[in-house]
A and B are shown apart, each in its own frame.
Chain A
Amino acid sequence: MNDPDLFRTAYAELDRLSPSAPSWDDVTTVHLSAAPATPHVRRAWNRTASRPRFAMSALAAIAAVGVVVTVGVTVERGARGTSSIAAPASTKAGADAPYLLPSAVPAGFAAVPRLPENGPGTGDVDSTISVMTDGDRQVIVLAMPTIAAQGLLDSFPLESAVQVAQRSQGDAALLVFARGVSRSVVQELVATVQLSTDHGRVTMSGINDPLRTRNASVTAFASHPFEGPSVSYASPARGGLRLLNVGVESGTTLNPLYRLLAGPDNMFAAKARGNDVNLKHLDILERNGYTILATSNGDVSDKDFRAFVAGLHDVDAATWRAAFGDLLNTPAS
């Protein structure tokens, strides 16, 4: 090979790894979004408004109250082109899973069929999801496509997830990941999330398509049209999930979560901005019976983030209710 051919060969390989480009709507959704719905939230938002805000991709985090008992995250590299990521979690311990959290994944889980991958017209998150169960518990296995696993793990605060769980009195859970697309690197990252099912079966949808999920309990998703710091809401027809997110991002990032988790009663995530998988900020608020997890990946300053969180703290119960009204009143079945 001559020199240019060497470069062409290398770039051909890199092209295979390239993610899909974010759409115009994805890029501009937050940029063009309207002001937040309530004065308090708007105030919090405005405190960070001078900063870049939005995140096409990145991370998300979840804290849950009263439901999830343990948290486990296993990350390992899967073999490209295979669909074998749903192996029993217990086999992931040891040297091949250096990021396995201690006591994270119990033995005895059996694999169940994978949920569907990205289907036609199902959006832009091209991920795979698998479910394992031992009858009482289920393990969610996410294969996040375009995350560079090592880079992610270098900066990904797995310990923060543990911290979240601890601060939530051992109840809660976890975490996440990030960006969509590109099948070529699907299964680079496999995250195994262990959730208890004390509040009904932990269920999840195909990550890409809540409307076509195989699980009836997570079929009734809705995006609430609050804008500004995005507020999204997912309410299963049954199963007890009430997931709220207030964040400064396009929605793309967190949407998989809405489609993923069921069981936690009340969740509220505020996300200041994400541009890489690095949780610089994380704060947990307790408000009105809800656990509110505020996160930022570090692209806002400490000062701005604290201002944002302070703004959230300022939001009293009545305001929350005014903002989210019927959503918060939706009974968990």
Chain B
Amino acid sequence: MVDPDAAIYEASREALVRYATTLVGPSSAEDVLSAVVLRVLARRRLAELDDPRAYLFRAVLNEARSSKRGPRHVGLPEDVGVHMDFTDHAHLVAAVLRLPLKQRAATYLVYWVGHSVAEAAALMGVRQGTVKRYLFDARRSLRRELS
């Protein structure tokens, strides 16, 4: 019998690791995701949560914030910077990665994943208005960066 928690995790894990990559970079994404799952499991079952997927997304964001504060964090944009030679849009990616974490999360969820503002708000654990503000600030900051 499949563990319900495993099924929940498996259904979202690829999306979660991509989300984590956006937040902390590819080198730390797996660690963030692993830490999230184990942190959750230490307290409760995923299957007991009302919206475990949203819970996991929020947890990834929180873990990303924690890891960025940590002394051993391999931070952005440096850790992604080593990959920049291999992208066609290095300057653009670097500029996006300089955005604050929550702005990055909001723009990723809305502009890239395609969530609505309401859905992104649920995944981030904030109000819709907050997401809108993140999007506005991110657009403005990016324009400023690129100009």
Q: Do A and B bind each other?
A: yes
* Residues of A near any B CB (own CB < 8 A): 3-4, 6-24, 26-28, 31, 52, 54-58, 77, 80, 146-152, 154-155, 179, 181-182, 185, 188, 275-278, 280, 297-299
Name the contact of B21 in the complex, choosing from A8, A14, A154 (C-beta under 8 A).
A14
* Cα–Cα distance between A54 and B34 once the two chains are bound (Å): 9
Q: How far is the CB of B62 from chain A (nearest CB, A)?
A: 15
- Given A14-B21, A19-B21, is A8 in contact with B27 using a C-beta cutoff of 8 Å? no
Q: Is the CB of B31 within 8 A of A275?
A: yes
Chain B interface size, under 10 / 10 to 19 / 20 to 34 / 35 or more: 35 or more
B124 close to chain A: CB less than 8 A? no
Residues in A with CB closer than 8 Å to B35 are 52, 275
Query: Contacts A17-B83, A182-B26 given; 10 further ones with Cβ under 8 A?
Result: A7-B108, A8-B111, A13-B89, A14-B21, A14-B93, A23-B10, A31-B41, A148-B79, A148-B80, A151-B79
Q: Is the CB of B27 within 8 A of A146?
A: yes
B16 close to chain A: CB less than 8 A? yes
Residues in B with CB closer than 8 Å to A27 are 9, 33-34, 37-38
* Cα–Cα distance between A80 and B97 once the two chains are bound (Å): 21
Q: Is the CB of B107 within 8 A of A54?
A: no
Q: Is the CB of A149 within 8 A of B21?
A: no
Q: Is the CB of B29 within 8 A of A7?
A: no
- Please, what's the 1-or-0 string for B76-108, where 1 marks a CB less than 8 Å from any CB in chain A? 001111110111110011011100000000011
* Cα–Cα distance between A31 and B22 once the two chains are bound (Å): 26
- Given A80-B86, A151-B78, A276-B28, is A24 in contact with B142 using a C-beta cutoff of 8 Å? no
Residues in B with CB closer than 8 Å to A179 are 27, 30-31
- Given A147-B27, A188-B82, is A278 in contact with B92 using a C-beta cutoff of 8 Å? no
* Residues of B near any A CB (own CB < 8 A): 3, 5-6, 9-10, 13-14, 16-18, 21-22, 25-31, 33-35, 37-39, 41, 72-75, 78-83, 85-89, 92-93, 95-97, 107-108, 111-112, 138-139, 142-143, 146
Q: Is the CB of A21 within 8 A of B27?
A: no
* Cα–Cα distance between A23 and B16 once the two chains are bound (Å): 12
CB closest residue in chain A, given B34: A56
Residues in A with CB closer than 8 Å to B17 are 18-22
* Cα–Cα distance between A80 and B84 once the two chains are bound (Å): 11
- Given A14-B21, A56-B31, A149-B82, is A7 in contact with B96 using a C-beta cutoff of 8 Å? yes
Name the contact of A10 in the complex, choosing from B3, B79, B92 (C-beta under 8 A).
B92
Residues in A with CB closer than 8 Å to B138 are 7
Residues in A with CB closer than 8 Å to B39 are 52
Q: Is the CB of A24 within 8 A of B10?
A: yes
Q: Is the CB of A185 within 8 A of B96?
A: no
Q: Is the CB of A13 within 8 A of B18?
A: no
- 7 A-B Cβ contacts within 8 A? A18-B26, A21-B13, A21-B33, A55-B31, A80-B86, A148-B82, A151-B79
CB closest residue in chain A, given B90: A13
* Cα–Cα distance between A9 and B90 once the two chains are bound (Å): 10
Output the residue of A22, A52, A146, A297 with the most chain B CB within 10 A: A22
Residues in B with CB closer than 8 Å to A55 are 31, 34
- Given A13-B87, A13-B89, A151-B74, is A22 in contact with B107 using a C-beta cutoff of 8 Å? no
* Cα–Cα distance between A32 and B82 once the two chains are bound (Å): 36
Q: How far is the CB of A10 from chain B (nearest CB, A)?
A: 4
Q: Is the CB of B111 within 8 A of A11?
A: yes
Q: Is the CB of B89 within 8 A of A21?
A: no
CB closest residue in chain A, given B14: A21
* Cα–Cα distance between A72 and B68 once the two chains are bound (Å): 32
Q: Is the CB of A7 within 8 A of B142?
A: yes
Q: Is the CB of A18 within 8 A of B18?
A: yes
CB closest residue in chain A, given B36: A27
- Given A15-B21, A22-B13, A22-B34, is A3 in contact with B26 using a C-beta cutoff of 8 Å? no
